[in-house]
Structure formats: C-alpha cells, structure tokens
Amino acid sequence: MLKGLKLDKTTEKNISKWLRGKYDEEVKSQINQLIENENVTQLTDSFYKNLEFGTGGMRGEIGVGSNRMNKYTVGAATQGLANYLNKCFPGEMIKVAIAHDSRNFSPEFARIAADILSANGITVYLYKELRPTPQLSFTVRELGCHSGIVITASHNPREYNGYKVYWGDGSQVVAPHDKNIVEEVNAITNVKNIKFRGVKKRVKMIGEVLDKKYLKAVKSIAVAPRIIKKQKDLKIVFSSIHGTGITMVPQALAQLGFENVSIVTAQATPDGNFPTVVYPNPEEKEAMTMALNLAKEIDADLVIATDPDADRVGMGVKNPEGEWQLLNGNQAASLIIYYLLKAWKAAGKLTGKEFVCKTIVTTDLIDQMAAKSGVDCYNTLTGFKYIAQVIRELEGQATFIGGGEESYGYLIGDKVRDKDAIASCAMIAELTAYAKHKGLSLFDFLADMYKQFGFYYEGLISVTKKGKTGADEIKQMMADFRANPPQALAGSKVIRIDDYKGLKRTDVKTGTITDIPSGKLGIESSDVLQFFTEDGTKFTCRPSGTEPKIKFYIGVKTKLKSKEEFNSTLKSLVDKVALIGTELNLN
C-alpha cells in the first residue's frame, strides 16, 4: 500500500507499525485515508519520528501518528515514565501529581496518564479541574511526590498540545532522568505494552486544599505589604486568554490586598480553541489587544495577561504620550529583578548570600544589576529546569531572590521550581504599586533603571521550519554558522565565540580555545552558538527544543542620558538590531 509513495524508511516503518498494531480502528482509518489521498507531506510529518522530550517536555500537533499528540504517544510517554519510576524507587509507594490546562484533549490526556500510572501500581494525585503549571510544580513538592505531569502546550497555537514531566523537586526533568525516560519510552515497541486500564482506587482527586496552600505560598513572596496597602486601589487589568490563569491570578491579587482588578471577561472562560485570538501568547500584541483596550478605557495603571498554562505573563505600560505599549520579556524580567534588589536592600534582607538566575539568552542587564548589589547571578542554558537545578544545588547555601528568561517566564522565591505567572503577576503588581508610591509610572521606573545601569535592548528573530525537511534545514543553518562565523556585527568586530555544543570558547583575536567556564554548578552540551563583539553586542543562534523553530537573539546596549531621550535611544537600538538581522540574512 505504501510502495507507490515516496516515504523514507523510518516513516514507512512507523506507519506499518500503527496499521498492524493494536490501535483503534478509527485511527487506522484516518491513516488509510491519508495513504489513499497520497498525502506524503502529512504522512511524513506525522510519522517520521517519535515525539521527544526537549527543553519543555513533549509537544506537538494533536492528531494521528508517532509524531503527534494523541492517546498512544501520551500512553507511551506515561508507560515509559511509570517503568522508570518503578526502577528508580523499587518497593516504595510512588506518588505522581497531574494537572492540565484548557487545551483541547488536555482533560482526556490527563486522565489517560492517571489511568496508566495507576495500572502500574503508582498513586496519582489528579487535579479535578484545570490548574496552572506552577501550581503543579508546587503540588509535587507539597505532597512529596516522586514525579509530576502537566498536560499543556504552553503558548503554542490551538493545534498543539504537550506533556511536561517533573521530578520530585518540582522541576522539569533534567539529565540523566530526561534521557532515561526517553529510553524507557523508546523501549515500548508494541502498544500492547501500555497499560491503559486504570485502577480507580489509586487515583486521588485534589483541588481546593492545594489551592489554598499554593495561594499562601504566592502571598509569602510580597516584600512591601505596607506599600500595597497604601496602593490598594491600583487599577489592574488582567486577562487569562482563555487559560488557567483565571483560576488563581484574581485570587492571588485579592489576597495581597489589590481591590481594583478588572478582568477581560471575553477571555475569562477557559477554551482550547482560543476564540478571541490567533495565538494564545501574551508575547503577541494581538493576544493582548482586548486587555490594552480595556486599560485605555478605564485609565489603568497596569496590564497583565497569562498564557494557557499560566507559566508566562505579558505586561503593558503607558508611555509618556499616554499610549499603551507592551514590554518584552527582557524588559519585564529586568524590572522584576530591579525592584526585588531594591526592595530586599530596603528591607535589610541582603546579606551577601543571595543570588538571582537567568538563561544565557536573557539580557545581561540582570548580571549588571546583581553585581552592583553584591548578589551572584548564575547563567544557565535555555529552559527553566536549569534555573531550578541551580536553586536545588545551592539550597541551604544561598537564598534565591528571583530569576527569569526572555521568553516571558519568571520566578520569585523557591516554593515553585518552574516559571510562575501567578507569582509574577503578584510581584509585577507590587512593583507597580511601589513605583506609584514613589510618584513614578511604570515607564518612569523602566527609564530610571536604564539610566542607572545602561540601556539594553534585545531583539528576537524566530524562523519556523516545520517537519523533517525543516529540521534538516535548521541543522544546516547551525552548521553554516559554525563553518562561516560572522566577522563583525553592525561594524563591531566579533572578539569571542562560545559554542555550547562542544562547550568551547574561542578568543577570535588570538585563536585561543578554552573550555566555557561552568562554575561550581556545571553546564551540559547544547546546540547553541554565541558571538560577542567589541561594543558589547551579543548574537545567539539556538534551535528551539519545543517548537519547529530556530531562534536568533540579538542584544545591543548604549547609555541613556535622560528620560526625554528614551524613544530616540530605543529607536537607535532597534535599528541596530534590524541592521544585524539584515547583515546575517535572518529577516
């Protein structure tokens, strides 16, 4: 049946496996329909590989196939996880917590995972309704679980769903567990090996009790409750963009004392089709439009919005011209750390044993601010699991203040070990209250930060390359940058190259090659390239671990002399980023 189609051997093998195996007849019918229609592209994209664990777990389009999110790929992932847990903790009563977001099939996938784990002798704590990803991380730690699962595709388009795996510390799995789980999943060569029939008594439904404990943990991160009390009427606009944020953000803000929160009602109902937006991503202005319009209508002080699983948050501020604009992830992360360092110092909490953490593609402004405050700043690979790893390694030795990454994910305090948009919304509201208490707008607060530490601006160019062909193209792009590295960026010579694949640093002037400093925590190999110039520009190339994309990060900086020069200075930096993108043919 497949002989007339131009399919590679792996794709043919996987299709045949599904047609011969113990899969639902409806599934086989859909595959046969694709074959009859000679839909080579869809067959290849659906079957050319198995979904893998990347920086954020397993993620893909919903549909039929080994490279799609469905009952069987979720089943294989869960069976592999169950097998690994039983090997790691023989004789123990193993516990796993499970949560899910508002996406299509999320409740079903969560239940399938619960049934499979229970069938393998594992006790499951399953949230009876959708809950944010950070709450799952908290729950794993609170209940002393060995592992956790969240069914979510974060901020991806509506066609996607995903599967995040957590370890007992509340962090997403890192080496060696991630690779070992993949090996266990790959060892399941027959769908008969998946135990789909659950054991009801091993599945415990959870909800309100854990909600209260999580909210209490969020409340504990507040640094200046007195200022919040004085600014309780702060006008806040919030949108959950049809996701899980609606379950926790309004409650978190209320318990902190904020009494004037306006919710975007058209986006308040959880819905996996995300009917009011193209992409449920608070990074996108389109997704934030309703919130920004409401803010303009009521003359708000702050706009915040969370993505479907509420681990990322976007924020809007009013500029001096009275127009609302969005801050990017680097600006928001910087403001959070800027405020936390100020507030901790004012509260007498800085003792010399505190630290912040960020990823290597996140703004170096955070390093600058931390250094000026006598606080260590650790840089990790992309993925919040690496930030969580730093927190774990330093537990009992140093206190984690906060951290973040440019992709709109931030964490305050160590009760959660993943991006936490609930806690971030609370802290963003607090820093806005602080600024207003000082007679400043958020925009003023941002400008003050840049005046003090330098105006840093980061641009991101993301190129999507879907399917097997796209994956091959991304590999070739990285190979080309290694073989022919740029000599200069916007007229400034490249003086250093960091290649995280081989963990090697090259001094371009001397040709000297050394190991990338890993400090006390270590850092693993990753397909990332960074180029540094004489004027402080940083250019990073990184294939995404969770999406069919290659991402290019361009960081530039200069001085900000006055607030009045904010826009002109920003324009010069934006133009410089655009120039570099053109020089490298990235646009």
Q: What is the CATH number of the domain that holds 324?
A: 3.40.120.10
Final residue of a domain: which of 188, 206, 224?
206
Token couple for 444: 């003023």
Q: 558 vs 41, 377, 533, 569, 576, CA distance in Å? A: 47, 21, 14, 8, 11
pLDDT for 1:
60
Instruction: Give the pLDDT of the chain (587 residues) as one tens digit per residue.
Output: 676 688 888 998 999 999 999 999 999 999 999 988 888 889 999 999 887 765 457 889 999 999 999 999 999 999 999 999 999 999 999 999 999 999 999 999 999 999 999 999 999 999 999 999 999 999 999 999 999 999 999 988 999 999 999 999 999 998 889 888 888 988 888 899 999 999 999 999 999 999 999 999 999 999 999 999 999 999 999 999 999 999 999 999 999 999 999 999 999 999 999 999 999 999 999 999 999 999 999 999 999 999 999 999 999 999 988 999 999 999 999 999 999 999 999 999 999 999 999 999 999 999 999 999 999 999 999 889 999 999 999 999 999 999 999 999 999 999 999 999 999 999 999 999 999 999 999 999 999 999 999 999 999 999 998 888 888 999 999 999 999 999 999 999 999 999 999 999 999 999 999 999 876 566 888 999 999 999 999 999 999 876 789 999 999 999 999 999 999 999 999 999 999 999 999 86
Final residue of a domain: which of 435, 453, 471?
453
Q: What is the separation of C-alpha 340 from the centre of its chain, rounded to a whole number of angstroms?
A: 21
Is 39 within the bounds of a domain?
A: no
Strand stretches in 111-202, DSSP E: 123-127, 147-151, 160-167
Contact 24, 61 (CB under 8 A): no
- Same-domain status, 320 and 442: yes
- Same-domain status, 428 and 496: no
Strand stretches in 384-528, DSSP E: 399-405, 409-412, 455-464, 488-489, 492-499, 504-507, 513-515
- Same-domain status, 188 and 237: no
Segment 176-181 long-range contacts (CB within 8 Å, at least 24 positions apart): 177/84, 178/53, 180/84, 181/53, 181/77, 181/80, 181/81, 181/84
- Same-domain status, 324 and 305: yes
Contact 388, 170 (CB under 8 A): yes
Is 445 within the bounds of a domain?
A: yes
Return the sign of the alpha-carbon dihedral for residues 370, 372, 375, 380. Answer: positive
Dist CA 580 CA 575 (whole Å):
9
- Same-domain status, 411 and 323: yes
Is 13 within the bounds of a domain?
A: no
The count of structural domains within the chain is 3
Is 44 within the bounds of a domain?
A: no
Is 556 within the bounds of a domain?
A: yes
Reduce the DSSP state of residue 482 to 3 states and report it.
Answer: helix
Q: 506 vs 360, 481, 496, 525, CA distance in Å? A: 17, 14, 6, 16
Dist CA 30 CA 25 (whole Å):
9
Final residue of a domain: which of 419, 453, 487?
453
- Same-domain status, 202 and 220: no
Amino acid at 570: L
Model pTM greater than 0.85? yes
- Same-domain status, 222 and 341: yes
Q: Is residue 457 packed enough to be buried (19+ CB in 10 Å), middle (13-18) or exposed (0-12)?
A: buried
- Same-domain status, 359 and 464: no
State the residue for tokens 């769908």. Answer: 191
Q: What are phi and psi of 324, to 5 degrees?
A: -85, 135
- Same-domain status, 367 and 477: no
- Tell me the catalytic residues: 154
Is 2 within the bounds of a domain?
A: no
Instruction: Note down the domain range covering 502.
Output: 455-583
- Same-domain status, 373 and 517: no
Mean pLDDT score of the chain, rounded to an integer? 94
DSSP secondary structure, 280-306, as one string = --TTSHHHHHHHHHHHHHHT-SEEEEE
The domain that holds 547 is classified in CATH as 3.30.310
Contact 516, 504 (CB under 8 A): yes
